[in-house]
Structure 1
């Protein structure tokens, strides 16, 4: 019997996407909804979330806006309960919220260091802690279950002035490998997506003039990835058969050399 091909392979699934108010998170939420998933979109900017939910709903999808600071562990736990109550048990988590603040070490921008650690590491762990029980339960019932985290090529590349940011992304990539050892046995797939240069608002957060120029030049000189490119990759990871785990995917613009 030939396999039936569907244009909505995520029908019946419930997803949560953090950092969904812009960029990769926003594009991913829209793509998952297009493919049939009910999507909870989480970020701090309520107005952006409301606009995203409106677009998804107008296109025939189902979405829920959850105003959330992922660094607040109790708020994340409450959000997980709300999503399960209103959309159903979550079986797809896109752990995407993050910030990029680049500067030389000797500038001692310790507040920037801490902000990156709080959001890129602690925030990721808060989301994992809140939603992993739902992922395990979904997998135990025989369905697919995915924990997908947005890392970066900075996790493995040696890039000047990226030291703290790169350190947080290296944590994410390696933690995903270790978590896979435990969660894979429970049929929860764990994946890390490592994009290169993406045309998002993250470069706008960079205050160091040299680093800002470097990123601006890249955006001007080559055809960078779009958020939709990364979103399509995340959607593909979630759409493959349950026994297939695409563990680490690096996505680069063709013209990006480093």
Structure 2
């Protein structure tokens, strides 16, 4: 039997947006590699099912309800992880929304929602975890963005803007923190997830599926990228990983 990577076994890894897609796959994958997992999302029933599955497979996991747009809940999420396992080693900020629309449709409420979840949710994660990491003199931020953090097209303007912002924020954080605190950006291309379900325009939703989601990465591919960054020796900081389906060429 292959040995588990030393830098994953026993690490306490907190994951936001873990009720489906990339977050769920990452929790399952890292738990199988020996990490202690804490998952948060709004759909507690799905989290409880995930924790039960991980536990039945011999892993360790806990869950709690989390809305990343509520700063006090993000602080509580990190505190919960500390209370359960004594520390937090990695925060994977994964929660995100993608309600694509043309700017001319003036879907201001959806713009606000993307800023609140995609950008402010990451900022709240930094505000909650950074003091913990500083006190420990060790920690790792992993921010899940999208290839939209370096690309923009019609309908993706606001979504791409939030992802560009997280990319800039992540690089700034990397430069500011102690060398004992690592910072990683992971930018997936089209991936199996529930993101298209947040598109409120039925025509755009269908177009997104037919034109841009022909080739899809399995969510576990992103989980493997997270594991790669986490399992590196403590003096190695994987700054950025960009991965796309081999067939995705245009963006």
- Cα contact 1:8–1:34 (8 A) shared by 2: no
Alpha-carbon separation, structure 1, partners of 2:42 and 2:75: 15
Q: Which residue, out of 129, 132, 143, partners 1:131?
A: 129
Match of 1:54 in 2: 52
Confirm whether residue 252 of structure 1 aligns to residue 244 of structure 2. Answer: yes
Match of 2:172 among 175, 178, 184: 178
Partner SS, residue 91 of structure 2: strand
**1: CA distance, partners of 2:242 / 2:211:** 18
1:66 paired residue among 64, 67, 78: 64
Residue 168 to residue 220, structure 1, CA distance change in 2 (3 Å): closer
User: 1:214 offset after TM fit, Å?
Assistant: 3.0
Report the TM-score when normalising by structure 1.
0.92
208-217 vs 95-104, which moves further: 208-217
Match of 1:241 among 224, 233, 244: 233
1:101-180 alignment, distance < 5 Å: 101-138=99-136, 140=137, 145-180=139-174
Aligned length in residues: 248
Q: How far 1:208 sits from its partner (Å)?
A: 2.7
| C-alpha contact (below 8 Å) 2:40/2:47 kept by paired residues | yes
Query: In the alignment, is the contact (CA less than 8 A) between 1:11 and 1:35 conserved in 2?
Result: yes
Residue ranges of structure 2 left out of the alignment (5+ in a row):
none
* TM-fit CA distance, 1:79: 2.2
Question: Please, what TM-score do these two structures have when normalized by structure 2?
Answer: 0.94
Q: Following the alignment from structure 1 to structure 2, what is the Cα–Cα distance between the partners of residues 220 and 100?
A: 13
Match of 1:188 in 2: 181
- The secondary structure found in structure 2 opposite 1:157 is coil
Q: In structure 1, how many angstroms separate the alpha carbons of the residues matched to 2:155 and 2:26?
A: 29
Deviations 1:182-209 (Å, cap 9, x if unpaired)?
A: 11x3411101111110111101211234
SS at match of 1:221: coil
Asked if structure 1 preserves the Cα contact closer than 8 Å seen for 2:190 and 2:213, the reply is no
CA shift, 1:219, in A, is 6.6
- Which of residues 223, 230, 254 in structure 1 aligns to 2:222? 230
For the residues of structure 2 that align with 1:22 and 1:78, how far apart are their CA atoms? Answer: 21
1:15 counterpart residue number: 13
- Partner residue of 2:3? 6
Deviation per CA, 1:91-133: give whole Å up to 9, x if none: 1110101111100000000000000001111111111111112
Alignment partner of 1:88 out of 83, 86, 89: 86
The corresponding residue for 1:37 is 35
CA RMSD of aligned residues (A): 1.5
Q: Return the offset for 1:215.
A: 2.1
